[in-house]
Structure 1
């Protein structure tokens, strides 16, 4: 199943976002969200002075080789000192903080925030510890946004920005 989630991420277009830290990538991995950019990030980590056999191998992979990405990433992360991998709630909190920061800096629009939250909540069986987080409270807003009923688009955007601010104000787990 993780390989299917990696494949989905491999099909997304590249963006001009900064290179995430290995800890951020570990959080995404725990949530089953590995990007096709992972080999590129590995190459960037190498140029930043990190080095290991698995990291060099990762940098040489094709982002569409989903099985190899999913199989190799835990070794790469462990060699980089990201061991053990975070628990699910810690990973969600980290990913939500990154999403919130990306929204508030303009790298991610409010609708995309809601869609990311929806995907994470659904893929983790609507766990209350996730839906209770500030961004988790956005679950269900996509229906309103898509359906055009309820709040205006500007009100929805304001709600998302407010939850992003709340998420960043909350202490990391």
Structure 2
């Protein structure tokens, strides 16, 4: 079998499963990702159907995504904390490989914590500890931007160690 190298922006199915549980999976991108997974050799019926959908049909995408993930052998995280941990792992990898900026990571953390209903276990995760720090980036008497960036990178490194 030929080894295919999918688009670097295509997340792994486990990450998409976490995003789905958290309600942050961008349905407009899911069919493209399904097509990339097909190109990687994962030919399954629900995955083919998902790859053929228009991403604007969010209801059908959301209905079919768990089935396609199951066909890939990917189970949905059973808890919000598990989903957040996976999403945070992916954010940490993106930040530390310079594919995402520190402020953007902080904004994503705020969104995930909010969607996790401010669960203390999510906030206690290394990246979860960034929750509520987005305002500090405005420079109104908060720490210097470079210090904020260093804090985000340190939390990212801790998140990857905890994974």
TM-score by length of 1: 0.85
Quote the Cα distance in structure 2 between the aligned partners of 1:19 and 1:154. 30
Aligned length: 155
Structure 2 residue 17 is the aligned partner of structure 1 residue 26: yes
* Alignment partner, residue 142 of structure 2: 150
- Of 125, 136, 147 in structure 2, the residue corresponding to residue 133 of structure 1 is 125
Q: In 2, Cα distance between the equivalents of 1:148 and 1:68?
A: 44
What secondary structure sits across from 2:98 in the alignment?
Answer: coil
Displacement after TM superposition at 1:18 (Å): 2.9
The structural deviation recorded for 1:137 is 0.5
Deviation at 1:147, TM superposition (A): 5.4
Contact 2:23 2:115 in 1 (8 A): no
**Aligned equivalents of 2:119, 2:10: Cα separation in 1:** 29
The aligned residue for residue 167 of structure 1 is 159
CA distance in 1, matches of 2:65, 2:87: 17
Answering whether residue 104 of structure 2 is matched by residue 112 of structure 1, we say yes
1:34 Cα deviation (Å)? 1.3
Residue 99 in structure 1 maps to residue 91 in structure 2: yes
Whether the aligned pair in 2 keeps the contact of 1:20 and 1:41 (CA below 8 Å) is yes
Aligned to 1:49: 41
Contact kept? 1:17, 1:107, Cα under 8 Å: no
> Quick one: distance in 2 between partners of 1:19 and 1:96?
16
- Counterpart Cα distance in 2 of 1:157 and 1:17: 24
